Structure 1
Amino acid sequence: MGTLAHTSVSGAIDLLSPPLRLRLLGQFRLERGTENLELCRNGQRLLAFMGLRGRVSRTILAGTLWPEVTEEHARGSLRTTLWKLPRGEPPLVRCCGDTLVVTPALRVDVDTLTKAAFGVLQGYGAPAHVPPPLGLLTVEDLLPGWDEDWVRVERERLRQLRLHALDALAETLVREGKPALALEAAWASVRTEPLRESAHRAVVSAHLAEGNVSEAVRHYHAFRALLNEELGVEPSPRFARMLPVRPPERAAAHDPGGLLGWSG
């Protein structure tokens, strides 16, 4: 009986505790409710790595965060950094033998982005009254300005995931008869990577879905000119076949209508 009562009280305390949020998209922020918790630089690096991985061995964590010192020194730095983390219930990081585990109570914005992106890519249908997750996919990069190798790798992974999800979302919205929203998703992908053909195909597909053939053709030629100027290559035959009229053999030497003004 005592154990059940303790569990019940603990659960009630957890429900009343301010939510813990870790924001890694954009500037690093650790929040408890409306309070912004301050961490030292090493504390930020440790919690960012743990927030991305969830659980990791001490050896891997110490070697990743302090790669240029001896293992003994790295483990000492890890112990010091763990000791300096903000105190609270539940603790941010708990030890399970040689493994460190981030608390399940910590809500990480990268997890929200990843869930939304995979939901789009795997075709999970949302109720008709639920808006598409465009806002969740048009976020800042992971920890801009951080230059550690592990951050760069994860940043590029998330960037590619977002781009694929935006392209897929645009295609889905076209099929659902929502070309205006499809254009928003397609342009978000174009702004992130102006030379990405799949994003431009999504723009053209949305224009064609609205019956705006002239805008579709103009956009194709604008992208063709940009691609020729930047890389000296042509769009794929697949892209050309989307148009109801055959494009000329050579791309124009200018940007028709200034459609690709984002590149500057």
Structure 2
Amino acid sequence: MTAAGLAPHLRLLGRFRLERGATAVDVCAGGRRLLAYLGLHRRATRTVLAGALWPDATEERAHGSLRTTLWRLHRSSGPLIRSDRDTLSLEDSVIVDAQALAESARRVVDGDQVPHQLLFDGDLLPGWDEHWVVFERERLRQLRLHALDALAVQFITQGRPALALEAALESVRVEPLRESAHRLVVCAHLAEDNVTEAARHFRSFRDLLRRELGVEPSARLTSALPLAP
């Protein structure tokens, strides 16, 4: 069994990286795409993989490219992918940060007290424009936003406004026009009796909405700050 310290880590949040312990593993371009797909889906048939990773090639050439990529990946990176007839799966020993993010986010949304450091990590494979990456990037982005909002509410309820502010501001960074996150920033400031900071943030968001969308903040946000001008 693979030692915990040397378990392969597939990092898809931010720049693609495959690591064994503290050592980065060099992976060919096709191998990066194959590992990323399996890291997001865990398993897929050879036909689905060939079509997704080489969409412009004929079926025969796509399957040939998949076989070549599997051979190169095994030679350079060791056993990371398991084959079961027509299905390829990521080995159970491979730790995927995007999966850990999704699991942590779901548990936070459900109200569990779990380590939440992953909620502050980078976006999924920025710069990759494959349709399957774009879809998963948006799915994870929405899940993380809901988790950050839930985390901010938890911290406000627990009387920890500084941590609530950190979570709410991260949600604002990910999606600057998301009103629920701005409302939580205002609530976190008010929980610390920082009315001036709350009003300043409200005005800044109001101006952003007017400039970008030509709309006003909702009554729910306005009522959160009694002295909002």
Using structure 2 for the length normalisation, give the TM-score: 0.93
Does structure 1 conserve the Cα–Cα contact (< 8 Å) formed by 2:25 and 2:77?
A: no
The unaligned stretches of length 5 or more in structure 2 are none
Task: Between 141-150 and 79-88, report the one with greater CA deviation.
Answer: 79-88
CA distance in 2, matches of 1:221, 1:43: 48
Larger Rg: 1
% same residue: 58
1:209 aligns with 2:197: no
- Could you tell which deviates more after superposition, 110-119 or 16-25? 16-25
Q: Which amino acid aligns with 1:235?
A: P
Q: CA deviation at 1:236?
A: 1.1
1:48 to 2:36 alignment: yes
- How many residue pairs were aligned? 229
The 3 A distance-change label for structure 1 pair 17 and 137 is closer
SS of the residue corresponding to residue 19 of structure 2 reads strand
State whether residues 8 and 94 of structure 2, in contact with CA within 8 Å, keep that contact through their aligned partners in structure 1. Answer: yes
What are the superposed Cα offsets for residues 11-67 of structure 1, whole Å, 9 maximum, x if unpaired? xx4347821111111111111222221111001000110111111111111100011
**Structure 2 residue aligned with 1:59, among 25, 47, 52?**
47
List per-residue Cα deviations over 1:196-225 (Å, max 9, x = no partner): 111100101111212222322222122111
Q: Structure 2: how far apart are the matches of 1:17 and 1:237? A: 52
Q: Structure 1: give runs of 5+ residues left out of the alignment.
A: 1-12, 127-131, 249-264
Which structure would you say has the larger RCO, counting Cα contacts within 8 Å and 6 or more residues apart?
2
RMSD between aligned residues: 1.9
Q: Give the secondary-structure state (helix, strand or coil) at the position aligned to 1:86.
A: helix
Specify the code of the residue in structure 2 equivalent to 1:85: L
In the alignment, what sits opposite 2:56? 68
How far off is 1:87 after superposition? Answer: 4.3
Task: Classify the secondary structure of the residue corresponding to 2:225.
Answer: coil
Q: What does residue 218 of structure 1 align with?
A: 200
Residues 123 and 137, structure 2, Cα contact 8 Å, conserved in 1: yes
Give the 3 Å change call, closer, same or farther, for CA 54–228 of structure 1 in structure 2: same
Alignment of 1:1-264 (within 5 A): 13-15=1-3, 18-87=6-75, 91-126=79-114, 133=116, 135-245=117-227, 247-248=228-229
